[in-house]
Each structure stands twice: as structure tokens, then as C-alpha cells.
Copies of this chain bind each other. A is one copy, B any other.
Amino acid sequence: MSIKGAQTSAAGGKHTAAIRDEFWGSYIKLVQDVVIPYQYEALHDRVPEAAPSYAIANFEIAAGRKKGQFGGMVFQDSDVAKWLEAVAYSLKLKPDAGLEQRADEVIDLVGEAQQPDGYLNTYFTIKEPGKRWTNLTDCHELYCAGHFIEAAVAYYEATGKDKLLNIMRRMVDYIDTVFGPEEGKLKGYDGHQEIELALFKLYKLTGEDRYLKLGAFFINQRGQKPNFLVEEWKQRGQVTHWTGRTEHMDPAYNQAHVPVREQEVAVGHSVRAVYMYTAMADLAALTGDTALQEACERLWNNMTEKQMYITGGIGSTHHGEAFTFDYDLPNDTVYAETCASIGLIFFARRMLELAPEGRYADVMERALFNNVLGSMAQDGKHYFYVNPLEVWPQACTHDPGKHHVKAERQGWFGCACCPPNVARLLTSLDEYIYTIHGDTLYTNLYIGSELQATLSGTDVAIEQHSSFPWAGKVTLRVNPERAAEFGVALRVPSWSDGIQLLVNGQPLRDEVSAGQGYLVIRRTWQPGDVVEVVIPMQAQRIYAHPNLREDAQKTAIQRGPLVYCLEEADNGAPLSSISLAENGGFTDRFDEGLLGGTVVLEGSGLCTDPHSWEGGLYSRKKPQAQPVKITAIPYYLWGNRGAGEMAVWVKEGRA
């Protein structure tokens, strides 16, 4: 096999980074120490408190090692793939012979389950052997293949072992005989996008054009007339895998309503959407396809400027886990799935490769520090799939329209899409810190790390120290192997005011330019140069666009990258009785004992006095309000002190 060259950024400029960060390091350690081993046990149905996964058992049956029925969801295989991918990243960060051994064994099993023609999917192998490729809309065959391709690439890059890579190349060779523009091949694509971005990863690793071509085919074919998913559904007798016969089939749910270059707004299932946009951006970068890049920008703008929660959550409704329409961002019936925000981070990363604009990194940071980080409990074993911005626990249990919202993180599900996605994101977080354009290194995230890059033909090591998210002090030690001219760009976060920059203790004059959300320092760097950045972090009030009706006349509180929230544990209930004083400030203090240590904010406001209420349900007499102290904690820490009310958006009233 031919391997083009590992660890290449699409935007050019080789680089590798390793996380050395107190804040994120503890989460990565949690993933390594708890999540990956726990998931391994779960995949083997050995976690008593979790519903059986059946995922490994399915492979054992497909491999002929044992007899039995297929178990779990039609896409259950992907949980094995996501675990392998997270293991790969983890091994890259920290060798672990035992873990690698277990992964090798799983890979051996996967190989045994592969069919003679290269096909790999336990559902169709065990349960519906004659039905391959008859229900692309629902059955995730290419989706599962995509996750295994991602795992194969990651595992090769981490260990140099190519067994899984070869398994998946055989699978892709087989897929290539089934799908394509040629006579007799299916003109289809998967109902759940994923294989596209995976094929581009495989292409970047191997340099083999047919992977690029197949991925491009899937992207380009999507939404063409006649609509493949609709025709396929008709051919099946209008039957879906999930609910039986249906009267209606909406390809917008799968972003297959029109060709991708014609799509104007983010629609449908939000995870499918961002996985597709990620692949579109990859393809645009690989081919220079400006129409595709424009579509990516359009969809990015719509999604982040009209349909994104302040926490970086996307998907306003649990009906189809989907986008709804512009400015429709209800806080309490929200979906904002963890996986969708992870996909948004994937997409943001690709947009940063297409164009070095800080706004992409702003969204990446927002989704990472809030929606994604908040999804995981501090034990690594409990998760939010849905990430609400307002919770009334009784409504979660007693109002059927809010049953999908949970007031506390849940144990591992049988269908555990989000936890392994968190695991693979956090163990590969090093890939999101920097991008390189030309000979300029763009710092997108302030996360302590060690970077090795080639800039202007010179090997450069950069050591980043960061006090995020509690303080805004960042230091970069720039160590070119010899003096060299290149650019180092530092992101100016959208929330920042008065950023200060020193190089070797001195302010810069001519060497720095500002634009597109970065300060770019272009100079001849000497080994040992030190860049110091101070980004003041004070609590700020954030307001929502007047069309965002849900948040009208309310404010959210943000400090640095962290969105804050009010919890019942600190402020009592109902939180709806509280309003923040219109012009007050906040005091901040680091509370070491609270939730593992966090900056707590305090402000002042008014709270309706329940004792002043006269009447039954309605009254002509307005209840009185009393001054109160208001306490806010970072959103990502909510729901860790028992079920209670929580709110991100708070009314503003007079002092």
C-alpha cells in the first residue's frame, strides 16, 4: 500500500501537537482512565447497570465464533469503530500495551466478520443477509463503514499497524463496485452522512484518488433528481426500518432535498447535517471547488448566525433531532445533541482550513467549552445527550413534550452515540488548536500544548501555556530550529476586550497586524522567543437578536469562553422569579471546593417574594420583589448537584 504522509493538515504545513493542559488534561485523563475502559466493558455487555450493547457479540456471531441473534440498533457496529478510534488517539497520547492488545484483538474479530467480498456490517450479515443496500435511508451501512475507516486511519497513524486499514480498504473497494456514476451501479448515498468525511481522511492518508472520487460522488449525487432516497423508499413499498409503512418521506431530514451546492439553510437531522458540511468543506479544500466552498459558507452562516444556541448547541427540536427554522431556539424543549456540537466542531475545523477566520474558531471554542464539555459528568460515566438551556425538572418527567430533556446526566445507553464521540473528540483535541496557512501558524484555541510544525521550511516547536478557562493569560514559547521569518497568529476571541500582546516582554509595533479575528505577528523568530497574550476575562452580559423571541428582554452571562447559568442549588426556585439588575456588575471568585474548582460569579437583582402573592392562580395584585444576590456557575458544570432548575437566559429588570 502507498501512504502519502501522515499528519498532514489539508491547509498545508505539517504539524503535530500534544496537549499539556491542566484543565483539558484532566478530561483527557478521565477519558483514558475511565471512559475507554468502561466503553470496552459496555461493548462486551459486561456493565451490569448499562443496557446490553450487543456490539461485540454481533461481530462474534458474524465472525462465526458463536451462534445468536443480532442485537441493538442497526448501526450498532459504529460503537466498536468509535471506540477503536478513541483508543487510537489515546495510544498516540500515551502508549498502553494492554489497551493496544485489546484493540488488536477487536480488530482481529472485525477482520473475521468481514465477508469474502469485502463487505463488513454485522446487521446485514446476521439478520438480513439478502438485503444489503436496499435501505440506504435508514440502515447506516455506509455510515458504519465510515466510522471504521476513521478508526482505521487513526489506528494506523497511532500505531503504524495496517490491519484495520487493509480491512477497510477492501470494504471500500467493494463499495466502489456497488456505487458510482457508471452503468449498473447504484446512484445512491447513505441516509446518515459519515462515509464522505471518512473517505477524505483515507484519501489524505493514502493519496489514492479513487477514495477522493468515491467521496465526491456521494457528495455530488446527494439531492439530485430523481431523488434516490425517495425512489428507494417507494421501491421498498414505502416502508421504513423504524416504523413500518409511512405515508410520507422527507429527504430534507437527510439533507437530500436538493443538491448540496444549492442548499441555503441548515435543515433536517443536525448530526447528519454537520457531518455532511464537514465533508463538503474537506472536498472544497481538496479540489478548490468554489461553489462548494460558497455553499459551506452559506450553511455555516445560517447555522451559526440564525440557528445556534449560545452554548454552541444546534438542533432546536427533538422531533427528528433536527433544525427547525431561523431564530427558533427554545431553551426548554431544545435538543442540542452532544454529537451535533461535536460535528459542528469538525465543520469549524474544516472551515478554518479553508480560510483563517477567527469566527470559525469562536464557534469551535463555544461548542467545546459549553455544550460538549457540559455533556459529560465528572465521573466520565454519565452524559447528557440533550443539552438544554433551561430546565424545570418536574416538566422533564411530567410534561411529555419535555421527556427528552433530562435534569441529570444519564448512565450509558444501549445506543451510546454521544459518549464515544466525546471520547474521540477529547483524545484528538490536539488537532483543533492550530491551523497553518502559508507560513503562518494560526492559534485557534488557547489550550496548553506542544507543537511541532514546519513553517517557512523551518522546523518549529511551540510550547503553549494557557490559564484558560479561568484566566486569559497565554504564553507561547517559539522555538524555530534556527532564526526564521514566519507568522504566528493569535486569535482575538469575539468575547474579548483589550487583548494585550508582548513579545519577549515588549509590546509590538510594526510586526503585528489585526484582521479576521486574529493578531498576526510576522517577524524573524529566534529560538526561545516568548509571546505573552493577556485576554481580560470579565463577566459580560450577552443579548440575543431581537428576532430570537425566546430570549427577548433577557440576558446571558459569559466570562471568557464559558457561558454561565443560574441553578436552583444557588438561587432557589423558581428561577423565573429572578431578574438581574439592569446595570449591575459581577464579582468573580475561584471556589476551589465547588464542583472541582470553578470561578463563581455573583451579581444583584430582584426576586419575586412568594409571600407577597395574594390570590389563587391569577390575581390583580402584583407580587412584590425583593433584592437578591444572584449566583452563576459555568454552564458546563450544571446538573451536578441533584435535579434542580437551571437557566442560561435571565430576565433583566430595574435594580
Contact = CB atoms under 8 A, between A and B. Distances in A.
A622 to B, nearest CB: 5
A133 interface: no
Contacts of A544: 617-618
Given A398-B324, A399-B324, A616 B549 contact: no
A324 B399 CA distance: 5
26 contacts: A304-B616, A306-B617, A308-B617, A319-B400, A324-B399, A328-B394, A328-B398, A333-B333, A401-B401, A540-B620, A541-B622, A542-B620, A543-B615, A545-B615, A545-B619, A546-B608, A547-B574, A547-B610, A549-B576, A552-B574, A553-B576, A553-B608, A553-B651, A553-B653, A555-B622, A654-B654
A79 to B, nearest CB: 24
B552 A577 contact: yes
A401 B319 contact: yes
Interface in A531-548: 540-548
Interface string A259-293: 00000000000000000000000000000000000
Contact of A616 (B316, B495, B545, B618): B545
Interface in A390-407: 392, 394-395, 398-401
Contacts of A322: 400
Interface residue tally on A, bucketed by range: 35 or more
Contacts of A546: 574, 576-577, 608, 610, 613, 623
Given A319-B401, A325-B395, A328-B395, 12 more contacts: A304-B616, A316-B399, A317-B399, A318-B401, A328-B399, A495-B620, A540-B620, A545-B618, A546-B577, A546-B613, A547-B610, A550-B576
A316 to B, nearest CB: 7
A553 B606 CA distance: 11
Nearest to A620: B540
Contacts of A651: 552-553
Contacts of A545: 613, 615-619
Given A306-B617, A395-B328, A608-B546, A401 B653 contact: no
A310 interface: yes
Interface string A500-537: 00000000000000000000000000000000000000
Given A549-B392, A553-B651, A618 B577 contact: no
A481 interface: no
A343 to B, nearest CB: 19
Contacts of A556: 618
Contacts of A579: 553
Contacts of A642: none
A305 interface: yes
Given A543-B620, A545-B616, A553-B608, A398 B325 contact: yes
A553 B608 CA distance: 8
A545 B615 CA distance: 8
A241 interface: no
Nearest to A318: B401
A305 B617 contact: yes
A574 B549 contact: yes
Contacts of A622: 541, 543, 555
A610 B553 CA distance: 13
A318 B324 CA distance: 19
A131 to B, nearest CB: 23
The 3 closest A-B pairs by CB, nearest first: A319-B400, A552-B576, A549-B576
B399 A543 contact: no
A616 B307 CA distance: 11
